[in-house]
Structure 1
Amino acid sequence: MNGLCTGRVAVVTGAGRGLGRAHALALAAEGAAVVVNDLGVGLDGTGGADGPAQQVVDEIRALGGQAVAHGADIATTEGASSLIRTAVETYGRLDALVNNAGFLRDRMLVNVDEDDWDAVMRVHLKGHFLPLKHAAAHWRTEAKAGRTPVARVVNTSSGAGLLGSVGQGNYSAAKAGIIGLTLVAAAELGRYGVQVNAIAPAARTRMTEATFADTMAAPGDDGFDAMAPENVSPLVVWLASAASTGVTGRVFEAEGGRVTVMEGWRPGPTADKGVRWTPTEAGETVPKLLAQAEAPLPVYGAQ
């Protein structure tokens, strides 16, 4: 097999279904050996399933690729460290980490209880942090030993993390946190040969069926299914490959045949009095600044 990721080893979390499965298959198709992580839980993170990670491994192997299953909870220290060990002990190296695992517990803010908040923060934000931490520690060790890697991390945010989404306060906050984590990791880990980027995908998965119910039409006359998760994976594969050298600390929106570079917070209109404002002065100045500023994009689901 001779592809974009030939000889590389990639880890994909939440790879038993949906986007993660598509990413794992696409990476394997381009020559990567893949560690397929999935805990097999339901849409809300409860219960378990009968081995979705192994099913994806079987698909990859049937197509001539290399893959191994990992079923531990990557939002725990032991689960995340064992994920990285699995790659290194099975294939002798680690080149790319794709953080994708997640689930939903959607509620309006007044109805979100503490367990709903903590569970979503845990799987999305902590579930990104811990695998990233252990992968980064491995790559730092390699770099200090004179074996500087060509390492890649692809984190998964969301349009909800960029703009907010009504009924998804916990999810939006977690996904916004992933963007902040991505920026810090890109700045800190570059010296060790690690590039870190994030995607904000839109695709048909278990998590989005209800959200995008009105827009998830069947494929058009040309056969192109704009909401298929496989549409997002080519960007992930490229970001995980050595070919993406020089691209780090970026957020990309991906949907159908469209890729967009998202531009984050940056200074807009400003006023500097040189000394402390009074509340009245601030109140007189802020509307003038807002009149010069671009209007924010609407929160998803806002009326």
Structure 2
Amino acid sequence: MSGNEVRFDGRSILVTGAGRGLGRAHALLLASRGAHVVVADSGVEMNGAGGDVAVADAVVDEIRSAGGTAVACAADLASEDGSIRAVASCVESFGRLDAIIHNASSVPRPLPVERLSSAEFDLCMRVNVYAGFWLTRAAWPHMAERGFGRIVYTTSGAMYGSAGAIAYAAAKSAFIGLARSFAVAGKPHGINVNVLAPSARTRMHGTGDPTTPYMDWLLRTMVAEKVSIGAAYLVSEECDFSGEVLSFEGGHISRVTLAENEGFFGPGESIEEVRDAAPAVLADSRYVHPRTLNERMLWSAEMFGVAESLDAAKVWR
């Protein structure tokens, strides 16, 4: 391991959902390493109800008491105006915006499909994906002007599928496409956009018997601070990759990736062909990992033997 400490002196970082749980841990760590931090949290419950500015203020007080620099922002990220105001609070307070960790989230009640309301689905999408888009769009000119930016979206293991968290899984999965596309757009401007997939014991997990082996392990090992080191690295100058999804849980770090296998090549003329090809299509082998749509198109063209006639860069940029 390198002996050079990763620092954020002179950097201004906006952390959403920073009043509690993971966001609070992110804010405290970044401030302890020299960052000026905007603690953005409206203090609402996980379902979007209520609101309490004291939630963000408490974290700001904690940072300042330790000698750090922070300001609170209680803007409602479920609205476009609120997301824009959160970005503006960083620029107005510190004169710049270098990074965003979008950790805020809305978590609908675990309900059967037929009882999941459109309102709950919409709120989950707005606080997660829409806010991620609004925050990034508002921050983009500030980052592009300086030739530097770091943006991190927070996904979830629910992206693998969860019958009890359909809206949440949909919202968290959307971050992958958002980040990979912004990563392509940000490359000429020095803006890296990545996704954090955390596993940590927070209020989202509810309560459980701490004497059971699982809960005991969860409480001891899956702590927020072991995720925050990953979030901090992803917004550091030393992070030189973009468009990736990294999982952090209790000291375990791994890469989550989109992949496509070689599959089956045939004339593509009948339903029966698809039926018969299914075993080969579902085979867990010979994967490729396109990083952009361009790479996916070039790979397909190569498989069909027409790559030389395709200038993908002129089709999709």
- TM-score, structure 2 as length reference: 0.83
Secondary structure of the residue that 1:259 maps to in structure 2? strand
Deviations 1:212-254 (A, max 9, x none): 987332689xxxx21211110011111111111x211110111
Indicate the residue corresponding to 1:181 in structure 2.
178
Indicate the residue corresponding to 1:152 in structure 2.
150
Deviations 1:41-96 (A, max 9, x none): 01211112351111100000000000000001123222122211211111111111
C-alpha distance in 2, partners of 1:210/1:160?
19
Identity of aligned residues (%): 38
Indicate the residue corresponding to 1:206 in structure 2.
203
C-alpha distance in 1, partners of 2:140/2:178?
13
In the alignment, does 2:284 pair up with 1:286?
A: no
Indicate the residue corresponding to 2:225 in structure 1.
230
Relative to 1, partners in 2 of residues 1:237 and 1:135: Cα closer, same or farther, differing over 3 Å?
same
Deviations 1:184-204 (A, max 9, x none): 111111111100111110111
**1:1-303 maps to which residues of 2 (within 5 A)?**
4-105=7-108, 106-140=110-144, 142=145, 147-149=146-148, 151-161=149-159, 163-209=160-206, 215-217=214-216, 225-244=220-239, 246-264=240-258, 266-273=259-266, 275-290=267-282, 292-293=283-284
Structure 1 residue 40: Cα displacement? 0.6
- Greater helix proportion: 2
Relative to 1, partners in 2 of residues 1:252 and 1:190: Cα closer, same or farther, differing over 3 Å?
same
C-alpha distance in 2, partners of 1:154/1:219?
25
Structure 1: which amino acid aligns with 2:203?
R
**Number of positions where the alignment pairs a residue of Structure 1 with one of Structure 2:** 278
C-alpha distance in 1, partners of 2:91/2:53?
26
Secondary structure of the residue that 2:45 maps to in structure 1? coil
C-alpha distance in 1, partners of 2:43/2:19?
7
Secondary structure of the residue that 2:24 maps to in structure 1? helix
Secondary structure of the residue that 2:221 maps to in structure 1? coil
Structure 1 residue 210: Cα displacement? 5.6
More RCO (CA 8 Å, sep 6+): 1
C-alpha distance in 2, partners of 1:91/1:227?
33
C-alpha distance in 1, partners of 2:53/2:242?
37
Indicate the residue corresponding to 2:304 in structure 1.
none
Contiguous gaps of at least 5 residues in structure 1: 295-303
Indicate the residue corresponding to 1:301 in structure 2.
none
Secondary structure of the residue that 1:89 maps to in structure 2? helix
Indicate the residue corresponding to 2:306 in structure 1.
none
C-alpha distance in 2, partners of 1:212/1:43?
22
Moved more, 32-41 or 231-240: 231-240
Relative to 1, partners in 2 of residues 1:205 and 1:240: Cα closer, same or farther, differing over 3 Å?
same
CA RMSD of aligned residues (A): 2.0
Contiguous gaps of at least 5 residues in structure 2: 286-317
